[in-house]
Amino acid sequence: MIRKYLTSQHKDIIQLLSLTLGKNNAWLFANDNYQLNKDEIQKLNVLIKNRANGVPFAYLSGAKGFYHLDFKVTTDTLIPRPETELLIDIALNLFTDNKEPYNILDLGTGSGIIAITLADKNPHWQVSATDFSQYALEVAKKNSTNDINFQQGSWFDAVPKQRFDLIISNPPYIKENDPHLLKLKHEPISALVSGKDGLDDIRLIIKRAHQHINKRGYLLLEHGYDQQEEIISLLQEKFSYIKTFKDYNFKNRAILSRLK
């Protein structure tokens, strides 16, 4: 009977049972005398073991919710973080005329969350998305509901000579030796880590962004809680109207700026 699992101490057991049986929580509790068959027991045991070994639930279910949509995720893509929803709110408030076909670029799209969410909310926008990893792009393409221009390549190499009204990115920004990484060992390291101070990729993006932004266009970056000052000083040469944002944990998390 599943009752014994429902009251057990396994991590995320209710969600794992739900995944095994394809039933929701209400069903599980209403049918707590249900007997698992052999295959179901085996499937559940594998899930319990992986979860106990620290595999994130999103990699076991293959999905994660972000903003108003559900996204497929694989170990080739970072798992969407709620912090990144902040970038969506900022971007959606940026342009008042929603009918304009603004050109938007999501650099390093991963599973596609930023590009796809924005395109879904604003079908008039022309959205492009890049990633260095062809495997991540395959996941993003599967997640895509709108017409998004996907390009493979490292940062701006993927979109040479193109200009945008808004470039938005959640690049890797964790420091090489950050102890926090131990907890993230199941996610792709290339999506997380960016050199000694975590700023290698952000420096690169800021250095070249002005060649890819239309006059008075915007650059919006997610970053680490302790990187705000350094990023502002990197931006000051070419950008003005620098605006900072905190996430829901009151940590500095995003910077918006406008090409001078």
Looking at the DSSP bridge assignments, the partners of residue 218 are 166, 258
Nearer to ligand GLN, 83 or 200 (CB): 83
* In the complex, minimum distance from the CB of residue 233 to ligand GLN, in angstroms, rounded to a whole number: 20
Residue count of the chain, please give it: 260
Nearer to ligand GLN, 19 or 115 (CB): 115
* In the complex, minimum distance from the CB of residue 131 to ligand GLN, in angstroms, rounded to a whole number: 13
Nearer to ligand GLN, 43 or 186 (CB): 186
Looking at the DSSP bridge assignments, the partners of residue 245 are 254
Nearer to ligand GLN, 83 or 120 (CB): 83
β-pairing verdict for 126-131 and 103-107: parallel
**HSE toward the beta carbon, residue 137, CA cutoff 13 A:** 18
Nearer to ligand GLN, 40 or 83 (CB): 83
Looking at the DSSP bridge assignments, the partners of residue 258 are 218, 240
Looking at the DSSP bridge assignments, the partners of residue 127 are 104
142 sits in which H/E element: helix 134-143
- State the angle between helix axes of 13-21 and 38-52 in degrees (0 to 180), rounded to the nearest 10: 140
* In the complex, minimum distance from the CB of residue 22 to ligand GLN, in angstroms, rounded to a whole number: 30
Give the dihedral of Cα atoms 124, 115, 118, 111; nearest 10 deg: 140
* In the complex, minimum distance from the CB of residue 185 to ligand GLN, in angstroms, rounded to a whole number: 12
Q: Is 159 helix (H, G, I), strand (E, B) or coil?
A: coil
The residues of the shown chain that bind ligand GLN, judged by CB under 6 A, are 81, 83, 170-174, 184, 192
**Degrees (nearest 5) of the Cα angle 53, 40, 31?**
110
* In the complex, minimum distance from the CB of residue 181 to ligand GLN, in angstroms, rounded to a whole number: 9
The residues near 46 (Cβ < 8 Å, ≥ 6 apart) are: none
* In the complex, minimum distance from the CB of residue 83 to ligand GLN, in angstroms, rounded to a whole number: 6
Nearer to ligand GLN, 172 or 217 (CB): 172
* In the complex, minimum distance from the CB of residue 151 to ligand GLN, in angstroms, rounded to a whole number: 20
Nearer to ligand GLN, 72 or 81 (CB): 81
**HSE toward the beta carbon, residue 223, CA cutoff 13 A:** 27
